[in-house]
Amino acid sequence: MCPTEPGEWPRLNIELINTGSELMLGRVLNRHQQWLCRQLADHGYVVGRQTAVSDAAGDIRQVVGEALSRAQLVITTGGLGPTSDDLTREAVADLFGVPLVEDTYTVARLEAWFAARNRTMPERVRIQAMVPKGAEVWANEHGTAPGLAIPAPSAGVGPSTPPWLVMLPGPTRELHPMVREQLLPWLRHRFPSVAPYVSVTLRSIAVPESAMQERIEPALGPWIARGLEVGYCAHPGEVDVRLAARGHEARAIVRAGEDVVRERVGTHIYGTEDETLEQAVVGLLAHQGRTVAVAESCTGGRLASRITDVPGASAVFVGGVVSYSNALKEGLLGVSPVTLATHGAVSEAVAREMAAGARSRLDADFALAITGIAGPAGGTADKPVGTVFIALAEAGGVAVVRHLNRFEREVFKHMTSQQALEMLRQRLLPGSPTP
């Protein structure tokens, strides 16, 4: 049905439609889009187009109709609830030219749902049992609105299979289980001919996107010729490399591609899929049974907060000090007032004493210290805004690096904490030299 090149597996042409005026006004993030696309892609079903429109019946009817003219499967989220801005059922019945009929099984479920909670069922709730005639009804185990699957009316021009429309409820706690327990099994049953699909995302740090491409693409050429897809996604200081392939050889092709990238990029790769740099660092520390403390000035607690975002961080993180003032650098970390007066708070010497002080006073195997000038004010010719010193203390001594991070405050804090985490990660890798 969908266009395929000779020798290629057919791909299922899927479109996703998210409805909600709050999306169009930018009041909420479209988390459904990311989550649903991710679930589908991880099972080999890549969404080709996603559309969002407001909760207006005319808009919903138009985008659903257009999507069904292009795709084999159209999935909608939202608009199935009981309130006046839930219009998907009506819009679809109207588009398909079919009536809404009451589903007796859903009525019974709704009555049982309210009875189990000792609540009277509001009359308006009953509208959720009205379904376009001909729809499969998917029971909602976690809420009131059922999911619906319905083939589009046949255009009557030959033997081609009509596209399917699947309507899913909007609340997250109803949508997620319905996708896992109903949509994905239904897809495997309904579209079994889709090719095996394998993907891996390698997360790298400190290699710019264009340099990454120059480094890996020539060597990946033979695998790309055999069907390997390569994609890049840049974040501040990081690049994700995504490798994917379809068909019976998919696993071998992706594995070979991954070997090439790991060989060319080496220890700049810190993790796969959704792993964060702080997770990688906490994992290495936990594996080696070592602990870390932090002393932060210009990052203001961001480094500590990132480390403690990782479940299990308490096993490796003893604590930290945010020493915005010179008084605290002296009082809590034992930085010498002479060093502060001679070199200034933003200096290699102060970073060194902060790290050494944090390590001994907080009693950890490692200590990271950060001092710098976030700006916008405070720069000098010698130390312009963005100047940062990061120190890593351990039993054998203290190493210090200097960076120039010219970013706005939020990105500055992220990038600087990223560099500190990376400095520790490199130190924890097998074969790393001691200072």
Nearer to its own copies, 150 or 370 (CB): 370
Q: Within 10 A of 270 (CB to CB), how many other CB atoms are there?
A: 24
- Using CB under 8 A as the binding rule, whether residue 2 contacts its own copies is answered as no
Q: Which of 43, 49, 215, 290 binds its own copies (CB under 8 A)?
A: 49
| Rounded least distance, CB 50 to its own copies, Å | 4
Q: Which of 12, 254, 284, 362 binds its own copies (CB under 8 A)?
A: 362
| Exposure on the CB side of residue 361, measured as CA atoms within 13 A | 19
- Using CB under 8 A as the binding rule, whether residue 289 contacts its own copies is answered as no
Q: Which of 8, 263, 275, 309 binds its own copies (CB under 8 A)?
A: 309
Pick the piece of the chain touching its own copies (CB under 8 A) from 40-48, 153-161, 260-268, 282-290: 40-48
Q: Which of 327, 337, 341, 432 binds its own copies (CB under 8 A)?
A: 327
Pick the piece of the chain touching its own copies (CB under 8 A) from 180-188, 245-253, 281-289, 302-310: 302-310
Element (H, E) at 209: helix 209-225
Q: Which of residues 147-176 bind its own copies (CB under 8 A)?
A: 171, 173
| Rounded least distance, CB 201 to its own copies, Å | 6
Nearer to its own copies, 309 or 397 (CB): 309
Is-contact 398 358, C-beta < 8 A?
A: no
CA distances from 227 to 232, 256, 273, 414 (A): 17, 12, 21, 36
Q: Which of residues 385-424 bind its own copies (CB under 8 A)?
A: 407-411, 413
Detail the DSSP E strand segments found in 172-228.
197-205
CA distances from 347 to 362, 370, 382, 423 (A): 22, 10, 11, 18
Q: Which of 5, 6, 7, 84 binds its own copies (CB under 8 A)?
A: 84
Q: Within 10 A of 371 (CB to CB), how many other CB atoms are there?
A: 28
Is-contact 285 266, C-beta < 8 A?
A: no
Binding mask 247-276 for its own copies (x = CB under 8 A): ------------------------------
- Using CB under 8 A as the binding rule, whether residue 126 contacts its own copies is answered as no
| Rounded least distance, CB 119 to its own copies, Å | 10
| Exposure on the CB side of residue 189, measured as CA atoms within 13 A | 6
Pick the piece of the chain touching its own copies (CB under 8 A) from 25-33, 184-192, 336-344, 423-431: 25-33
CA distances from 15 to 65, 77, 167, 297 (A): 11, 11, 12, 48
What is the distance between the alpha carbons of residues 113 and 151, in angstroms, rounded to a whole number?
29
Structural tokens at position 250: 């998919």
Nearer to its own copies, 226 or 361 (CB): 361
Pick the piece of the chain touching its own copies (CB under 8 A) from 96-104, 130-138, 154-162, 324-332: 324-332
What is the distance between the alpha carbons of residues 179 and 193, in angstroms, rounded to a whole number?
20
Q: Which of 98, 194, 206, 322 binds its own copies (CB under 8 A)?
A: 322
